[in-house]
Structure 1
Amino acid sequence: MSLRVAALFAAVLCLAGPALAREPARPPASARDRDAALSPARERQKRCGTEWRGLSTADKTAKGPTWPQFYSKCVKRLKEPKA
């Protein structure tokens, strides 16, 4: 009986060892830093979404029948340097 208990205890320690040896988690970046890094992409996403919602069904068919197709074209257009 004690051999079984010792084997079970050893198995638990082997499985829990990597979890116990991890470094403590880093504190999360502040929301302001994260938002500043995502700001241009987030702004493009919002602008393209507003345009998508404003299109009629016929316009959506002409400009890209699905959101991913429309969004891809919209982002390329928004990233182009303005003359």
Structure 2
Amino acid sequence: MPFPLLRAALTVLLVAAPAASFGQGTVQDPELAPRRQPSPRSLAARERQRQCGAAWRALAPPDKVEQGPRWPQYYSKCVRRLKEQRA
């Protein structure tokens, strides 16, 4: 029967192969991976998010209810306001 011979060959290959060789390319070291530079649009969006977040945290709870009771609604209005100021 060829199965015991095949099993023995696979066992030898698995034992002889270094463990590090399995899975190469699936997990990358984050320090070695090249990073793309953010685009000007993404930098502007990130800055708007920081500004709106700081303004949201500075609001008192009653003021938050006036502006929009939840962060997504407030953020939408804030981004719209900041974009209008830039234009």
| TM-score (ref. length: structure 1) | 0.58
Say which of 75, 78, 83 aligns to 2:79. 75
Counterpart residue number, 1:64? 68
How many residue pairs are counted as aligned between the two chains? 72
Q: Which has the higher helix share?
A: 1
Indicate the percent of aligned positions where both proteins have the same amino acid: 50
Alignment TM-score, normalising by the size of structure 2: 0.56
Alignment of 1:31-46 (within 5 A): 33-34=37-38, 36-46=40-50
Which amino acid in structure 2 is aligned with residue 59 of structure 1? D
User: Tell me, what secondary structure is at the counterpart of 1:34?
Assistant: coil
Find the counterpart in structure 2 of residue 54 from structure 1: 58
Note the aligned Cα RMSD (angstroms): 3.4
What is the CA-CA distance between 1:35 and the residue it aligns to?
6.0
CA distance in 2, matches of 1:58, 1:66: 12
Structure 1 residues 13-41: Cα deviation after superposition (integer angstroms, max 9, x where no partner) = xxxxxxxxxxxxxx7443xx226452100
For 2:35 and 2:40, the matched residues in 1 are separated by: 11
